[in-house]
Structure 1
Amino acid sequence: MSEFARVLATLRQIRGLSPFFALDVGRPDESWHDGEALFRGPALPDALDRIAARYRTGERRVAASLFFLGYTARVLSPVVAARAVDGVAPDIRPGNLWWRYTPEGLQVRLKEPVAGVGIGESLEPVVEAVHGLTPVARGLLWGNAGSNVAGALRTISRGGVDCAVLADELFADPPLKGTGEFIPFPGEVVFRRRSCCLYYRLDGGGTCGDCPLPRPTPPRR
């Protein structure tokens, strides 16, 4: 079987896990941006502005974090699932992607169904592009990536797949190493990150399930 066919077979196998695992292939209409638009032109700044307006925040770093959180959810979920089912992980480098930000959120699709490289090599240029537009910490952005990898592992494990070994492999080296830790819990993948995605900075945002910030104490009745 060719690499092309193997990647397509893997994408078909994992797409039913949840919408985040469905990664379409092929050239879309003109409303989509080439992946290279992440590095030049108005597409990425415009997306951050639209996210800021949507969530009513004046903090550009919060919008940047939310963009990268959505981006990594959509590109890393298929990669993690492919690894879990012993398939061929797709190439998610920007040069092999189309993307757009719509009222429904961020959408991503592949140009070609070819095999990819490591997570760090795939995402580092995007981290630098986002960091270059606003002073959001690189460690925070990589924490977003780690959180989404852990979330993908949690979804896959609920289907009966033992993800313990894969989790150790994915977080063994930088850039995911040190972004958080797995907490033993029977029958569940529980992850606690070491950075915060800043969602709590939004009106009514609160904290996420893997947030390192202390939860507010409920008022006594």
Structure 2
Amino acid sequence: MSEFADVLATLRQVRGLSPFFALDVGRPDPGWHDGAALLGGPALPDVLGRIADRYRTGEPRVAASLFFLGYSARLLCPVVAARVVGGAVPDVRPANLWWRYDEDGLRVRLKEPVAGVGVAEPLAPVVGALRAVTPVAAGLLWGNAASSAAGALRTAARAGVATAEQCVALGEELFAEPPLRGTGVFVPFPGEVVFRRRSCCLYYRLDGGGKCGDCALT
């Protein structure tokens, strides 16, 4: 099969795991941003302000964390699942993305179904862009990415796509190099993927917010 066909076949294979694993392809309706808009210009500060208003927080770093939680989950769920099933990993670098933020939250889609690179590399430019406009720690953002990847592995194991042991082994491989190295640890637990991160996403700082299941503060 061609590269396009391989990527599309993998996306079809994993999209049923949960809505976060569904990654559509092609030019969207008007109102979406090119992925490059994440790296400069007013779009990213604007969406961070909208998130701050929506969640009633006066802390820009909390809004940045919430944005990146959604962003990393939307992209790493299909990317990690592709690794679990041994399929073609899609290219989720900003240059190959469309995105928008509205009342339904953050949505992303691919421009082209082409194969990509790694897990961390596609996210690094957005981490840099967030830190350029918001005083948020890099370790916090990479902890969010690790949490998203571990959540994807947990879902894949529970769905029977692979065993929990296989998913944990893949997670340890994915987190073996910077910037994901040191973001957390997989906790041995029979038949389950259990991950404990070493940073906090700051969700607890929202009104009515609490601590996540993998939070370092619990």
Cα distance in 2, alignment partners of residues 16 and 191 from structure 1: 23
Show CA shifts across 1:118-150 (max 9, x none).
122211100000011111000100000000000
Residue identity in the other structure for 1:144: N
Deviation of 1:167 after TM superposition, in Å, equals 1.4
Note the 1:71-86 alignment, pairs <5 A. 71-86=71-86
Note the 1:120-135 alignment, pairs <5 A. 120-135=120-135
Note the 1:137-176 alignment, pairs <5 A. 137-160=137-160, 161-162=162-163, 163-176=167-180
Deviation of 1:174 after TM superposition, in Å, equals 1.1
Cα distance in 2, alignment partners of residues 131 and 11 from structure 1: 31
Residue identity in the other structure for 1:86: G
Gaps of 5+ in 1: 215-221
Identity of aligned residues (%): 75
Note the 1:1-221 alignment, pairs <5 A. 1-160=1-160, 161-162=162-163, 163-214=167-218
Normalised by the length of structure 2, the TM-score is 0.97
Deviation of 1:164 after TM superposition, in Å, equals 2.6
Cα distance in 2, alignment partners of residues 137 and 172 from structure 1: 20
Normalised by the length of structure 1, the TM-score is 0.95
Cα distance in 2, alignment partners of residues 14 and 30 from structure 1: 27
Cα distance in 2, alignment partners of residues 83 and 134 from structure 1: 32
Cα distance in 1, alignment partners of residues 115 and 214 from structure 2: 30
Deviation of 1:60 after TM superposition, in Å, equals 0.6
Residue identity in the other structure for 1:193: R
Gaps of 5+ in 2: none
Higher Cα Rg, which structure: 1
Cα distance in 1, alignment partners of residues 176 and 39 from structure 2: 29
Whether the 8 Å contact between 2:186 and 2:196 is mirrored in structure 1 is yes
In structure 2, the partner of 1:217 is: none
Residue identity in the other structure for 2:178: P
* Moved beyond 4 Å, runs of 4+: none
Residue identity in the other structure for 1:189: V
Cα distance in 2, alignment partners of residues 9 and 165 from structure 1: 24
Cα distance in 2, alignment partners of residues 18 and 120 from structure 1: 22
Cα distance in 1, alignment partners of residues 13 and 156 from structure 2: 12
